[in-house]
Structure 1
Amino acid sequence: MSATGWIRERFAGPAPGGAPGGTGTWPRTALALPFIGMALVVALNYFSDTEVTVEPALTAVPALAAVVSRRTWYPLLIGLCTEAAAFLMALYSGSLGESVHSATVFAIVLVAAIGWVSTTLRLRQEKALADAQLVAEVARRVLLRPVPDRVGSVRAAVHYAAAAAHARIGGDLYEIVNTRHGVRAVVGDVRGKGLNAVETAAAVLGAFREAAHQEAALERVAGWLAVSLDRALHENDHPGVEEEFVTLVLIGVRPDGTAEIVNCGHPAPLLLRDSEAVRALELAETVPPLGVLDPGDVCPPVHRVPLLPGDRVLLFTDGVIEARDRAGSFYPLAERLPDRARGNPAEVLRSVHEDVVRHVGKQLGDDAAMLLLQYDPVVTLHELPQQNGHLTRR
């Protein structure tokens, strides 16, 4: 098996070029449409009382075959069948020696050949698109890795939707890691779109995955990201590098349940707690996005919030809250979140995303990422109460 075939089987399943359900696939019953069209033309010619023949209408049959089929030989087969039908119609009407029959025969051959060429080119284009989507999917899994259901003391889920058609990744980024300092996560948004945004997101994520383990202080993690971002922007020589920046929010859940939050120009996370209204975890002091200040000046304040078991913190990008409906109204995330905060974290994010799409009424115009963390500490044996020297089950 080739490397491309193994990757497709591992990550994307059957290639759209030939498997049912692939790009542009018609149901198998559609293969009967050319025969139905052929039969209608023959019947119309047979029952028609006029002297005018409808034989030229047969030229549309092989064209229809090229539309509904994913096999290059099918338009040629239909072309042969159509030629036979044209011969029978001309024999019945006595027009074998007339120019209209000769023109029809030539046109059928020409349309069948064009159908064969167009089907071949379409399948090649679909294969190229499938390969590009496969590469994008693999890149997404490397850059934006799947989030496990549990990371240390939290349960987690992520939902990501790229705005670009057929895209798997964009300018939004997320990551969550379990370190000796506790669980740490980041959600960010790179200014701009396209490959430059993807490169910048990759630089920030790579730096976070290293800094989250090395730095004990969360604000120093932000400083590390600022240095890495500045170096990546200048090394890659991005156009308009002076205007590049990244908004992001860092959160760390320490072993004692204290949440530490560092926000660099990003929408504030939302705290969901039973019997309480949704609360935005705003910082008293605002900090510019990374890339605005000199990296040496990046030292954001840390906001600390004690979490209770069951508390949920939602981190998101502006693609969610800036989604507009037809009237131009923004999506009210804080208002609608309580009604959709039922179920496990993955179900909550799925419900929120579906509600955002309903609010907009079409595909989102910007990348949108959401990361939901639920504080759910694991009770170890030594933490269970004891009675008479025996462990008490809970």
Structure 2
Amino acid sequence: MSATGWIRERIAGPAPGPLPGTATGTWPRLSHALPLIGMLLVASLDWFSNNRVTVEPALTAVPALAAVVSRRTWYPLFIGAVAEAVAFLMAAYNQVLGESVHTATVLAIALVAGIGWVSATLRLRQERALAEAQLVAEIARRVLLRSVPDRVGSVRAAVHYAAAAAHASIGGDLYEVVNTRHGVRAVVGDVRGKGLNAVETAAAVLGAFREAAHQEPALERVAGWLAVSLDRALHENDHPGVEEEFVTLVLIGVCPDGNAEIVNCGHPGPMLIRTDGELELLEPAEPVPPLGVLDPADVRPPIQRVTFRPGDRVLLYTDGVIEARDDRGVFYPLGERLPGLAVGGPVEVLRRLHEDVVRHVGHKLGDDAAMLLLQYEPTGCRLPHQAGQQAAGAVTP
């Protein structure tokens, strides 16, 4: 089966089930009875009017309601046919079969039912197109931004990514964690801008990192490799405004013994969370511009060294987190909130942190936001809280 056929099969699914990627349960099944209830109300009102006035024209609204409450294209036509039958019964009861009000009602019901069928058909096609776009975007995300395993070498890892674009699962932020002979290496970056150009640039940087992280023993030379690849990708793809394109990123390498190196190129500094709750912002000693600003030959970022103890965590993030503002324009206070949220495993911490950022903003984030949490935990090492839990579990009452 071709890739296109596989995608369409995934989208279509078993009939008449819901489409992947579309909201289900927007209108409960009981809502399909609303047009029938509407017809019953109109007929009841006409019955109690005692032939003094006819409300038959109100039946024209019933097929329109059917087109709204149902995703089945045939439903407006079915309701229109039922409404026509009810209209003839009401006209016979009111003795207006030969009058213009009945003729106009019958024609109007037929017209509205036809319009409802067209509307339902177009809406269904749009839903399928949206589902296909969402599925393709999800496939692209899994290829570009691969899932991070729970353990990578001597660290436990977790990632959380939220794209700002509506109905998209990928944007200009990037992340990756790899286990190399030089230790665990990770990158988190942010491409200037949004859209397809940002995705192409992120793909070029990630592809270069996945190769350079294994080949280059020095972390600063990995940054140089990324700068060369970025420069080549921007000029080969002929991006508009290539002179203004750049990527901020931070690289980190963690050796099995806990010694870590950090290279920062214009990116927000990582947050180090010690096991005792102490928080430290790992800012570079001297600022380095983002990749794409300097000539690749001039990219020589300094290395910041830090030693991790078992259980220490480091959070790498993009500016979509710290620049998230509430309705008063106050930025999210990551340094204040993080210590209280850093409880539990890495996945739980990032989930709790993302929920707190969204609560601070009060709505969906307006910028891409990526967070990567690494917890230094050598194989076979028991953290203090884990040892305490095991000891408590061993005590019998």
**Normalising to structure 1: TM-score of the pair?**
0.93
Q: What's the CA shift string for 1:274-329, capped at 9, x where partnerless?
A: 22421101111111000010000001111110100000000000000000001100
Q: What's the CA shift string for 1:22-58, capped at 9, x where partnerless?
A: 3374211110000001101111111125722110000
- Tell me the residue number matched to 1:233: 234
Query: What are the within-5 Å matches in structure 2 for residues 9-158 of structure 1?
Result: 14=13, 18-19=17-18, 22-23=22-23, 25-49=26-50, 51-158=52-159
Off by >6 Å, runs of 4+ in structure 1: none
Distance in 1, matches of 2:98 and 2:2, equals 55
Q: CA deviation at 1:230?
A: 0.3
- Tell me the residue number matched to 2:249: 248
Residues 231, 145 of structure 1: CA spacing in aligned structure 2 closer, same or farther, 3 A cutoff?
Answer: same
Output the amino acid matched with 1:196.
N
Please tell me whether the aligned partners of residues 317 and 370 of structure 1 are also in contact (alpha carbons under 8 angstroms): yes
- Tell me the residue number matched to 1:369: 370
Query: What are the within-5 Å matches in structure 2 for residues 165-204 of structure 1?
Result: 165-204=166-205
Query: What are the within-5 Å matches in structure 2 for residues 312-327 of structure 1?
Result: 312-327=313-328
The answer to whether 1:163 aligns with 2:164 is yes
Please tell me whether the aligned partners of residues 16 and 23 of structure 1 are also in contact (alpha carbons under 8 angstroms): no
3-state SS of 1:159 partner? strand
3-state SS of 2:344 partner? coil
3-state SS of 1:286 partner? coil
Name which of structure 1's ranges 41-50 and 219-228 shifts more when overlaid on structure 2: 41-50
Distance in 1, matches of 2:214 and 2:139, equals 25
Residues 335, 17 of structure 1: CA spacing in aligned structure 2 closer, same or farther, 3 A cutoff?
Answer: farther
Q: CA deviation at 1:188?
A: 0.2
Q: CA deviation at 1:104?
A: 0.2
Q: What's the CA shift string for 1:243-286, capped at 9, x where partnerless?
A: 10000000000122111100000000000012242110111111
Please tell me whether the aligned partners of residues 152 and 182 of structure 1 are also in contact (alpha carbons under 8 angstroms): yes
- Tell me the residue number matched to 2:330: 329
- Tell me the residue number matched to 2:361: 360
- Tell me the residue number matched to 2:222: 221
Distance in 2, matches of 1:329 and 1:219, equals 35
3-state SS of 1:337 partner? helix
Name which of structure 1's ranges 42-51 and 280-289 shifts more when overlaid on structure 2: 42-51
**Normalising to structure 2: TM-score of the pair?**
0.92
- Tell me the residue number matched to 2:343: 342
3-state SS of 2:374 partner? strand
Q: What's the CA shift string for 1:212-271, capped at 9, x where partnerless?
A: 000000000000000000000011111111010000000000122111100000000000
Distance in 1, matches of 2:13 and 2:366, equals 29
Output the amino acid matched with 2:46.
N
Please tell me whether the aligned partners of residues 19 and 131 of structure 2 are also in contact (alpha carbons under 8 angstroms): no
Output the amino acid matched with 2:87.
A
Q: CA deviation at 1:379?
A: 2.7
Q: CA deviation at 1:4?
A: 4.4
Distance in 1, matches of 2:187 and 2:9, equals 31
Name which of structure 1's ranges 54-63 and 277-286 shifts more when overlaid on structure 2: 277-286
Q: CA deviation at 1:9?
A: 7.3
Query: What are the within-5 Å matches in structure 2 for residues 383-394 of structure 1?
Result: none
Please tell me whether the aligned partners of residues 17 and 123 of structure 1 are also in contact (alpha carbons under 8 angstroms): no
Aligned length: 379
- Tell me the residue number matched to 1:305: 306
Please tell me whether the aligned partners of residues 190 and 246 of structure 1 are also in contact (alpha carbons under 8 angstroms): yes
Please tell me whether the aligned partners of residues 17 and 130 of structure 1 are also in contact (alpha carbons under 8 angstroms): no
Residues 4, 287 of structure 1: CA spacing in aligned structure 2 closer, same or farther, 3 A cutoff?
Answer: same
Q: CA deviation at 1:346?
A: 0.6
Name which of structure 1's ranges 150-159 and 41-50 shifts more when overlaid on structure 2: 41-50
Distance in 1, matches of 2:106 and 2:201, equals 60
Please tell me whether the aligned partners of residues 246 and 292 of structure 2 are also in contact (alpha carbons under 8 angstroms): yes
Where does structure 1 lack aligned partners over 5 or more consecutive residues? 381-394
Where does structure 2 lack aligned partners over 5 or more consecutive residues? 382-397
Please tell me whether the aligned partners of residues 324 and 359 of structure 1 are also in contact (alpha carbons under 8 angstroms): yes
Distance in 1, matches of 2:351 and 2:88, equals 59
Q: CA deviation at 1:7?
A: 4.5
Q: CA deviation at 1:95?
A: 0.7
Distance in 2, matches of 1:59 and 1:373, equals 62
Please tell me whether the aligned partners of residues 8 and 15 of structure 1 are also in contact (alpha carbons under 8 angstroms): no
* RMSD, aligned α-carbons: 1.8
Identity %: 78
Distance in 2, matches of 1:175 and 1:9, equals 31
